[in-house]
């Protein structure tokens, strides 16, 4: 019962950190469009300074969530989850490359300061963090307490 309760707490903390960092991404992308009076440039860099700790926290929480989910899943569920994550990673890479070719969201110019802040970048970095957590959950050896005593005679 306690393990199930702990999964709810980990999932809730993951969802809260995802929401905070997502709204931070939206805010920073809007700050890049604000031009202060009497100055050149924009206010996007200020948003990046405040958003950076939340992005790092969100990536660590995503890693931990997928590590926990993968380590408690069955073998076939682990590989289906990792395959789904790789498919999602491919979709984010494809859509971000299509947007950069069209020049709609990801155009390199002075007003963007050579930084992407859009939904594709957000999804891409969190998908990579989730896949790394899942791989580590599959490869991580079990603790000594979980090894059955029947193997030792």
Per the CB < 8 A criterion, the answer to whether 89 and 124 are in contact is: yes
Identify the domain containing residue 68 by its residue range.
2-141
In a domain, 52, yes or no: yes
Q: Give this prediction's pTM.
A: 0.73
> Tell me: the pLDDT tens digits for 80-115?
988 999 999 998 888 777 655 555 444 444 444 445
Smallest CA-to-CA distance from 50 within 82, 81, 15, 25 is with 25
> Tell me: the pLDDT tens digits for 111-133?
444 456 677 788 889 999 999 99
In a domain, 150, yes or no: no
The total of structural domains in the chain comes to 1
In a domain, 151, yes or no: no
């Amino acid at each position: 019962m306690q393990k199930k309760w702990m999964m709810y707490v980990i999932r809730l903390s993951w969802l809260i950190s995802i929401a905070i960092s997502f709204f931070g991404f939206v805010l920073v992308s809007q700050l890049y469009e604000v031009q202060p009076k009497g100055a050149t440039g924009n206010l996007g860099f200020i948003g990046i300074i405040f958003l950076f700790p939340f992005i790092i926290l969100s990536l660590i929480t995503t890693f931990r969530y997928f590590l926990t989910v993968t380590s408690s899943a069955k073998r076939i569920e682990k590989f289906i989850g990792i395959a789904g994550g790789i498919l999602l990673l491919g979709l984010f890479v494809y859509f971000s490359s299509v947007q950069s070719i069209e020049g709609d969201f990801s155009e390199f110019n002075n007003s963007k300061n050579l930084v992407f802040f859009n939904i594709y970048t957000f999804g891409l970095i969190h998908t990579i963090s989730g896949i790394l957590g899942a791989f580590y959950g599959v490869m991580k050896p079990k603790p000594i307490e979980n090894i059955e005593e029947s193997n030792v005679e």
